[in-house]
Amino acid sequence: MDRGIALIRRLTGKVASRARHAILTAVTRFRQQLGLWIFLITGGVVHGFDPEKDGMEGIKSLVRSRFGEVRQLPTKELAAWLNDTNRPPPQLLDIREPAEFAVSHLPGARRIDPGAKPAEILAKIATNRPVVVYCSVGYRSSGLARRLLNAGMTNVVNLEGSIFQWANEGRPLVKDDGPAKRVHPYNERWGALLKPEIRGAAD
């Protein structure tokens, strides 16, 4: 009898532990997704950050602190990678809205909806090839990279500074009908991180 009771207690404890773990995992993922939607709904308001005051280095530091598990790939390293014919090129995923993508994007990039579920994305890409995600400054794309990592993908990195830094450095951009020179600013506030000569019009 005592052994039976002990066995029941152990099984009950395991079930409770697994349930707690499942609940904590679900809550964590919900908070991460909620953070992304708050960012989108509020027009990219990031608490404690001012684009004009803190600049690109400030947002990169903020992204590294909030998404510590996501590897940040410097733009110069991506440029060297894309120019290296001895290395298979990465899959470039643009995590921005259609209007942003239409103005310009990195050559070879394909657009993925910012709120897409990992399963939807994994069904569209080659999971055995490395993935580089980017958005305007790296905040939205780091959030997506985190979700992909949580889904079990290991070869995904975020482009640090994303398309804003890439464009500010004079690196190539394209649109549907050929080369592009301007970048969608996301909104007027975030557009302060773009050089004036390449800053497109806000919607």
Q: Do 14 and 105 fall within a single domain?
A: no
Q: What is the pLDDT of residues 33-53, one digit of tens each?
A: 444 444 444 445 555 678 888
Q: Do 32 and 57 fall within a single domain?
A: no
Determine, yes or no, domain membership for 92.
yes
Write out the two tokens for 16.
């409770």
Q: Do 18 and 93 fall within a single domain?
A: no
Q: What is the pLDDT of residues 125-140, one digit of tens each?
A: 999 999 999 999 999 9
Q: What is the pLDDT of residues 78-128, one digit of tens each?
A: 999 999 999 999 999 999 999 999 999 999 999 999 899 999 999 999 999
Long-range contacts of 193-200 (CB under 8 A, 24+ apart): 193/51, 193/55, 193/56, 193/59, 193/137, 193/164, 193/168, 194/164, 194/167, 194/168, 195/167, 195/168, 198/167, 198/168, 200/103, 200/104
Q: Do 64 and 162 fall within a single domain?
A: yes
Q: Do 28 and 106 fall within a single domain?
A: no
Range of the domain at 18: 1-41
Count up the domains in the chain and report the number: 2
